[in-house]
Structure 1
């Protein structure tokens, strides 16, 4: 088990889905899954435009281009990806050439010992260090449809990233949920009013190993409770009505929550 620390980690991704783009230091990453998030396309374009760094990962490059075309966006007025990474086995050559002509930096990462998602986060770190870009948050668009192995691989990537992007909050956004990893310690999670009023679901999943967890602000709180697979995991939980949920854990813990009413 990992020991906890006294630092309070605050999580409030909702600011970036409101009108506070300009004051945030965040990156956007598009994985090779269909972009199903149900937000107004103009809002998505604003989120993309005001990011400090825009990355598409392998086939996610085609996904992004198709999304723009499906929403009849004027591609000439949309900033291209700053960085395109991956082993490039699922992106057409003409799509790469299209964005290369728009000055996107293309980095092929052929190593098969890590997923394209993991390698993209490593390249993001290098790019930020080289270009002296500060990033506090990364919003990763990767829907969790169909492939259970890819769902777990993406979570594994977020666990890995705590070692080399320790000061960066990484959120994986699907069509109706958002997921991230809580490191050992204390966490305060902002819960929008619409999610509290609709009793939207949330979950604490001990995917990395057994956790001793305490919480406040949930309908079914935990009090130094052991969460572990083959015994208790906290799924289909919801909120008590308070504007925040506090969680203390002694090990890495996956937090996931439904956001459909928010969208």
Structure 2
């Protein structure tokens, strides 16, 4: 695998204000990249931008709601205006709507598809010509649930499965243009997306540190990897799902009872 140098590259990170996105942005800055941070809320983006600048790198903030198609082209335009053509596009922003499917309305379903699947696909489509010119990279932050769906995370699992299929197909298309594609499947991480789902009175499963997760993502990119799954539990579950899918489903259901979503739990990172 060819090594990828990130020094003096321009990286755009969606969902860059919190959680894994923040960890990714800081890991990129430590490697000498300029970072454009995209998310719905200005305050956390500005905070992370200051952290990037403290590492000696330039940072740009573009507040946007990526569920809206018109916002995606605007984001790329503003990113180019600030820091030039994009070398690395990190699609990290996501939405987790917890609870049984019957608890959700059409608006929630449509937003989950827009944020988790349509937005990354559209951003890649729009950015691919310049990524080809720059011989750049696409990073798609997925989930082990794309392989082994979890009860009561139906929308999230389905959209992440779609993102995985998109990324695997894109890898071959993009290679023709010299564009590298990395799919990452981090373990359950202590982010604003997950913490509010913890069930009161029960011990929550161990969650990974988002800064460490961000570092792992960028280390995998730097190494030229095309896919990265980590977390002992995730690896074991994926292996078990191949060998004994019925047992894997039972384990998932028991694990899911540690969380108690409210009737309308809708959480975003980005």
| TM-score (structure 1 length as normaliser) | 0.40
More strand by share: 1
Normalising by structure 2, report the TM-score: 0.39
Of Structure 1 and Structure 2, which has the larger fraction of its residues in helix? Answer: 2
